[in-house]
A and B are shown apart, each in its own frame.
Chain A
Amino acid sequence: MAWVTWQQHRAQLVVGLGLLVALALAAFGTHLTISEAYQRDGLPDCLPPSTRPGCDLIVAHFQGEFGSWASAVRGLAVLPALAGLFVGAPLLARELEHGTYRFAWTQAITRRRWLISKTALLASATVVAAGLVSALVMWWREPFDTLQGRMAPSAFDVEGLVVPAYAVFALTVGVLAGLLLRRTVAAMTATLIVFATTRLIVLTFLRPTFMAPRHRTVLATETGLRVGDWVLSNTLVDAGGRQISAAREDLAILHAQQANIDPHTYLVMLGWKRIISYQPAGRFWTFQIFEAGLFVALSTAVMVLTVWLVRRTPT
C-alpha cells in the first residue's frame, strides 16, 4: 500500500514540499532582518519585565516595525486545514465520485485495510510536515515570544504540538466528509466548516478551562498585565465586589474630570479594583499537550467511525 499511496498522492507531496520550502525561504529571509534589528536596537537588555528607562519605547518601536509580519504568521493557522481540504477530502470523495472505488475495492486487499493503510501513511506525512512548520514558526517567532509571550491564540495556534494535531484532525474529518458526501467539492467545504467550528469552540470554551485560571486583584490604576500571560478577562469591580458597567465607569470618570481630579486616582479613592483572570505563561506546554491530545482523540474517534462506515458504502 505504500507504493499505491505514494503513486496516487505524489502531486500532493510535491506541492506540500514546495510550500514548506517557500515558507522556509520566507522565514530565513525575514529572520535576518529581524535579528539584526533586535540586536541593533538593544532589545536583549530591554526584555520585560524591565524597568530600565526608554525600554518601553524601544520595545514598542520594534513591535511596530515588525508587527505586521508577526500578524501574517498568525495566518499560518490555516495551514492545517489544507491537509483536510486537499489530502483528506479527496481521498474517498474522488474514488466515489469517479467510480474508481469499483476498481480499488475489488482487488484482494480489503476496504478497511486499504483505508487504514492509506490514511496512516498520509497522516504520518502530514504530522511530519506540520511538525516542520511548527518548528519553523517557533524558531522565527522567538523574539516576539520573548516580548509578548505565546499563550495568546495568535502564537499558541501556530506553535508547538497543536499544529500537527490540528492537521491530523483536519485530515480525518476530510476523509469522513468524503465518505459521507461522495463529492470532492462538497467534502472540502464540509471539512473547512467542521474544522473551523471545532477550533473555534475549543479555543473559546475549552482552552480557557484546561486548568483553573488564576486571578489577580490590582488597583484600578494599574493595568495588572504581565507579559506572556493570556488574559481571559479584565473586570472592574467596586468595593463590594460588584462588577462595574462601562456606563458607570464613564460616569465616574466624568465626575472626576468635573472635579478636576485625575480619574485614576478618583477610581482608587472609590475603592474600585481590577480583577484579572489569566492563564500564566508557564502553562504553555501543559496547554499544548492538553489541546493536542484533545484533537488527537477527536481524530481517532473520527477515524474509527470512518473505518466502521466504509464497509457499508455504497448503501
Chain B
Amino acid sequence: MTPALDARALGKRFRRAWGLRDCTLTIPQGAIVGLAGPNAAGKSTLLALAAGLLAPTEGSIAVLGCDPLREPSVLADVGFVPQGAPLYRSFTVGQAIEFARRTNPRWDAMIVASVLGRLGARTKVGALSAAERTQLALALVLGKRPRLLLLDEPFGGLDPFARREFLKLLMDGVAETSATVVIASHVMAEIERVCDDIVLLAGGSVRLEGRVESLLESHRILMGPRRPIGTIRGVREIVRERHSDRQLTLLVLSDGPIVDPSWTVERVGLEELLLAYLAPPERLQPPKPPERLPLQWHG
C-alpha cells in the first residue's frame, strides 16, 4: 500500500540554517506515529513540508503517493492542524466550519458536530480558549475525512485534563475515519499512550524510529556498583552510561532476559529512553550491525 508519508533525503534550508537535513522516513497507512524531539528539531518543518506549505531544498516528500506542491489536490485528503491552531479570529465557529466546508470537496457534518459537542456556533473564534480552538481545529480537519492527519504540537497551552479530552476526540475521530496520524509533540505521556510508532528528530535529522512497544520492551536500565563492565548476559549494547562515585547506571539494549544478580534491572520510560538517544553521538557506543531488530538507529 502507498505509504502515508514518504520522505527521501528530505532537506529544508532556511536563511540561516538547515531546519531538516537528509531525512528519510516512511510512515505506512493506518499507523499512529509520534514525532518527538526538542525545539528546533525539525518536527514543524517536516509537517509543513508534508502539508505543502514549504518547498524542499533537497530530496523529496510524498504524501499518499503525491507531491503536495505539484499535486495540491492531495490536500483534500490531508488534514493539518498547525501549531497554535491558527484560525480567523473574527470568524464565528459556524463561519469557520462553513469556510472549511466550502474549500474541501468532501464534508462530513456529523463528525464535526460530534467533535464540537457543546461549542456554540455563534462564538467568535477569538473568544475561544486555547483548548476550544484546538478542538475546533480538530473538528475542521476531521470534517474533510482526511486519510492523513498531521498535528503540530496540539497540546500546547492545554492543561492535562484538556489534553486528555482532546486525545479522546482525536482517537474517536481516528477510529471513525481510519486516518493515519502523525503527532509532533514533546508531551511524552500522551504520545506513549496512543502512538504505535515513534520517530525521534533532533538537529534536523532522524535519530531513532521504531514501534513504541518494541523499544520499551528491548531497553532496560541497569544499576549497580561502579566497576569495569564485562559482557552482561542479555545485554546487546550499552546505549548510555552514567556514573557517580560509587554507582553505575546503564541504559542498555537487550536481546534476552537479563538475570545477572549483580545488576538491578528496571524498565525505562519512553521519555527517558528518547532523552538518552538525544545525547550527542560521540557519547554513545558505536552500533553493532543490527540482525533482526525492529528498530533502526540513525547516528
A interface residues with partner B (beta carbon < 8 Å): 1, 3-4, 7-8, 98-111, 311-312, 314-315
Asked if B51 and A103 make an inter-chain contact with CB atoms under 8 angstroms apart, the answer reads: no
Interface of B is mostly: loop
Q: A99-B82, A100-B86, A108-B73 are known contacts; what are 19 more A-B pairs with Cβ within 8 Å? A: A7-B91, A7-B98, A98-B89, A99-B84, A100-B87, A101-B53, A102-B48, A102-B53, A102-B80, A102-B86, A103-B87, A106-B75, A107-B75, A108-B76, A108-B104, A109-B103, A110-B72, A311-B55, A312-B55
Interface centre among A98, A311, A315 (most CB of B within 10 A): A315
- CA A105 – CA B54 in complex, angstroms? 11
- CA A201 – CA B155 in complex, angstroms? 54
B99 / chain A contacts, CB cutoff of 8 Å:
4, 7
Instruction: Please give me the residue from chain A that is nearest to B87 by CB atom.
Output: A103
A314 / chain B contacts, CB cutoff of 8 Å:
53-54
- CA A111 – CA B144 in complex, angstroms? 18
Instruction: Please give me the residue from chain A that is nearest to B75 by CB atom.
Output: A108
Asked if B87 and A4 make an inter-chain contact with CB atoms under 8 angstroms apart, the answer reads: no
A109 / chain B contacts, CB cutoff of 8 Å:
103
B interface residues with partner A (beta carbon < 8 Å): 14-15, 48, 51-55, 69, 72-73, 75-76, 78-80, 82, 84, 86-89, 91, 95, 98-100, 102-105, 137, 144
- CA A8 – CA B104 in complex, angstroms? 18
Asked if A3 and B54 make an inter-chain contact with CB atoms under 8 angstroms apart, the answer reads: no
A312 / chain B contacts, CB cutoff of 8 Å:
55
Asked if A106 and B53 make an inter-chain contact with CB atoms under 8 angstroms apart, the answer reads: yes
Asked if A7 and B95 make an inter-chain contact with CB atoms under 8 angstroms apart, the answer reads: yes
Q: What 5 pairs across the A-B complex have the smallest Cβ distances?
A: A108-B76, A107-B103, A102-B82, A99-B86, A106-B80
Query: Which one, B14, B69, B84, B105, contacts A108 given CB within 8 A?
Result: B105
- CA A4 – CA B101 in complex, angstroms? 11
Asked if A106 and B55 make an inter-chain contact with CB atoms under 8 angstroms apart, the answer reads: no
* Least Cβ–Cβ distance between A101 and chain B, in angstroms: 8
Ordered by A's residue number, 12 sampled pairs between the chains whose C-beta atoms are within 8 Å are A1-B103, A3-B102, A100-B86, A102-B53, A102-B80, A103-B88, A105-B52, A106-B82, A108-B73, A108-B144, A311-B69, A315-B15
| Known contacts A99-B82, A102-B53, A102-B86: A107-B100 contact under CB 8 Å | yes
Query: Which one, B73, B86, B144, contacts A103 given CB within 8 A?
Result: B86
- CA A83 – CA B51 in complex, angstroms? 33
A101 / chain B contacts, CB cutoff of 8 Å:
53
In the complex, the number of residue pairs spanning A and B with C-beta atoms less than 8 Å apart equals 67
B84 / chain A contacts, CB cutoff of 8 Å:
99
Asked if B53 and A105 make an inter-chain contact with CB atoms under 8 angstroms apart, the answer reads: yes
A106 / chain B contacts, CB cutoff of 8 Å:
51-53, 75, 78-80, 82
Instruction: Please give me the residue from chain B that is nearest to A3 by CB atom.
Output: B102
Instruction: Please give me the residue from chain B that is nearest to A8 by CB atom.
Output: B88
A107 / chain B contacts, CB cutoff of 8 Å:
75, 100, 103-104, 144
B102 / chain A contacts, CB cutoff of 8 Å:
1, 3-4
* Least Cβ–Cβ distance between B96 and chain A, in angstroms: 9
* Least Cβ–Cβ distance between A314 and chain B, in angstroms: 7
Asked if B88 and A111 make an inter-chain contact with CB atoms under 8 angstroms apart, the answer reads: no
B105 / chain A contacts, CB cutoff of 8 Å:
108
- CA A100 – CA B95 in complex, angstroms? 15
Asked if A103 and B76 make an inter-chain contact with CB atoms under 8 angstroms apart, the answer reads: no
Interface centre among B87, B137, B144 (most CB of A within 10 A): B87
- CA A106 – CA B81 in complex, angstroms? 9
Instruction: Please give me the residue from chain A that is nearest to B80 by CB atom.
Output: A106
* Least Cβ–Cβ distance between B66 and chain A, in angstroms: 13
* Least Cβ–Cβ distance between B54 and chain A, in angstroms: 7
B104 / chain A contacts, CB cutoff of 8 Å:
107-108
* Least Cβ–Cβ distance between A12 and chain B, in angstroms: 12
A7 / chain B contacts, CB cutoff of 8 Å:
91, 95, 98-99
Asked if A111 and B82 make an inter-chain contact with CB atoms under 8 angstroms apart, the answer reads: no
A98 / chain B contacts, CB cutoff of 8 Å:
86, 89
B55 / chain A contacts, CB cutoff of 8 Å:
311-312, 315
- CA A8 – CA B98 in complex, angstroms? 12
- CA A3 – CA B72 in complex, angstroms? 22
* Least Cβ–Cβ distance between A115 and chain B, in angstroms: 13
B87 / chain A contacts, CB cutoff of 8 Å:
100, 103
B82 / chain A contacts, CB cutoff of 8 Å:
99, 102-103, 106
Instruction: Please give me the residue from chain A that is nearest to B141 by CB atom.
Output: A106
* Least Cβ–Cβ distance between B197 and chain A, in angstroms: 23
A1 / chain B contacts, CB cutoff of 8 Å:
102-103
- CA A10 – CA B277 in complex, angstroms? 53
Instruction: Please give me the residue from chain B that is nearest to A99 by CB atom.
Output: B86
B72 / chain A contacts, CB cutoff of 8 Å:
108, 110-111
